[in-house]
Amino acid sequence: MAVQSEPDYSLFTAQEIEFVAEDELIEIVPNMRMDPLNLICGDFGPFLPQIAAQVPLWLAVALKKRGKCTIRPPEWMSVEKLTRVLEAERDSEREFQLLPFHYVEISRLLFDHARDDIPDIYMVRSLIEDIRDVRFHKVQSSLETFDGRTSAVQIKSLSAMEVNIVRPFVARALQSFQKLDSLLPETDSTPNNQPQEADKASKGRRVLRGR
Amino acid sequence: MGSYYDIDDIIAEEEPVSVVLQQPANGVGIDPSAEKNCVDQGSKVELPFWLANELCQRNAVSVLVPACFDEKTRLEIQADPACVDLRSRSPYFYEFGCKMAPIVGDRTLGFLLFSAFRSRYKELLTKAHTASYVAAPKILSRLTKEEVNLYEAAQSSVAAFKKWRVGGRRFQPASVLGRKRRSDE
């Protein structure tokens, strides 16, 4: 699944993360009539004109390309909500705001394919870019506090793309720290109470939804 | 110890180490300038690390702290770890130090390595993710192999993300199709 150029710490390519993100449900407004679709991942439909329906993102994009629907942007993607999120991100030093796990990928897909369905698209786009920047800097600053005792890292409410970017770096850094820590004599084994300590893999692993 | 085939490991063990012989050695041409072929007990010679390690385990030599961990380096690391050119000391500074620590009788080596790495790691973190290509060569020349690995991992993932963000063609033709096939006879 991962690119083979990095045999030690496999990196999901950005396209793979995008592929995974396309499973998220999104609302569309079809403009034609269609029978229910019985797919492996679930049943969708029947589609009636002007009646909103929830479909996976890949299906929504496919229908949109054929001109059969318009996509309704998800509710977190409004200018007011994003502005509020941006303010909150800038205010808090360590905490991340709760955004959908795949917000980067969803927003990019919608910008590419559903440009006319999103009101104030330029504003939304620039807000999302700013949010992404601020969060990334926060990620970096929270990664600075490593130690030899750190065995795992947890950062709450991080999104899939951000996790993917730092994954190889953090994995190698943790390994190096472990290696160097084994040199130190065991003085006092008080484990360092990192403010965010848990399994980072649980944030990066895609949750398999029950179908 | 799954690093038998690891190239970095092999090269790291090639580093020269000065040792003091505990027993006289006959018939080995370690010191080319000596007249006779045997080396007396108590003399200092330079051996590669892998050899010194084995001999030390047989108690045939005692190992001295190599030059790359000497006082001057220690003082520099205490002053400002981020700017010390560790590559000029040894491109395998950390790995070498890890191997040296058990056999050389110096307890502070571990602390030195650890504190150096921790401070440099902070610098590395910020620079790796955000630096442009202009600044890269200047920083890379100061890092050991291990740090360069970290750096490049971060760089490649950030670059991949940026490339994806720009967009572009979702589908690329397979490289096999690009070549014109010569018609078979």
The one-letter amino acid code at B39 reads V
- B 7-46 residues with CB below 8 A of A? none
**Cβ B103 vs Cβ B17: under 8 Å:** no
Share of chain A above pLDDT 70, in %: 80
Task: Closest CB to A181: pick one of B114, B154, B165.
Answer: B114
Locus of tokens 């009636």: A48
Find, in chain A, the residue whose alpha carbon is nearest to that of B170: A15
How many whole angstroms separate alpha carbon B67 and alpha carbon B64?
A: 9
* pLDDT given at position B138: 67
Whether A76 has a pLDDT exceeding 50, the answer reads yes
Mean pLDDT of A68-73: 87
B46: left (phi over 0), alpha (psi -120 to 50) or beta: beta
Residues forming a β-bridge with B45: B19
In terms of pLDDT, which residue wins out, A34 or B1? A34
pLDDT tens digits, residue range A148-201?
667 777 777 888 888 888 888 888 888 877 777 777 765 543 343 333 333 343
The rounded mean pLDDT for chain B is 73
Q: Domains of chain A, with CATH numbers?
A: 14-177 (3.40.5.50)
Peptide bond just before A100 cis, omega within 30 deg: no
**Cβ A97 vs Cβ A85: under 8 Å:** yes
* pLDDT given at position A121: 86
Predicted TM-score of the model (pTM): 0.72
The one-letter amino acid code at B33 reads S
Q: Which two tokens stand for residue A21?
A: 């993100």
Q: Which two tokens stand for residue B162?
A: 């940026």
Whether B1 has a pLDDT exceeding 50, the answer reads no
Q: What is the distance in angstroms between the Cα of B120 and the nearest Cα belonging to chain A? A: 11
The one-letter amino acid code at A75 reads E
B157, B158, B165, B166: which to substitute to probe chain A, counting the most A Cβ within 10 Å?
Answer: B157
**Cβ B128 vs Cβ B154: under 8 Å:** yes
Task: Closest CB to A14: pick one of B101, B113, B164.
Answer: B164
Task: Report in angstroms the alpha-carbon separations of B55 from B13, B47, B48, B60.
Answer: 14, 10, 11, 5
pLDDT band at B34 (very low <50, low <70, confident <90, very high): low
Q: Which residues of A touch B (CB under 8 A)?
A: 6, 9, 11, 13-15, 18, 108, 112, 136, 140, 143-144, 146-148, 161, 164-169, 172-173, 176-177, 179-185
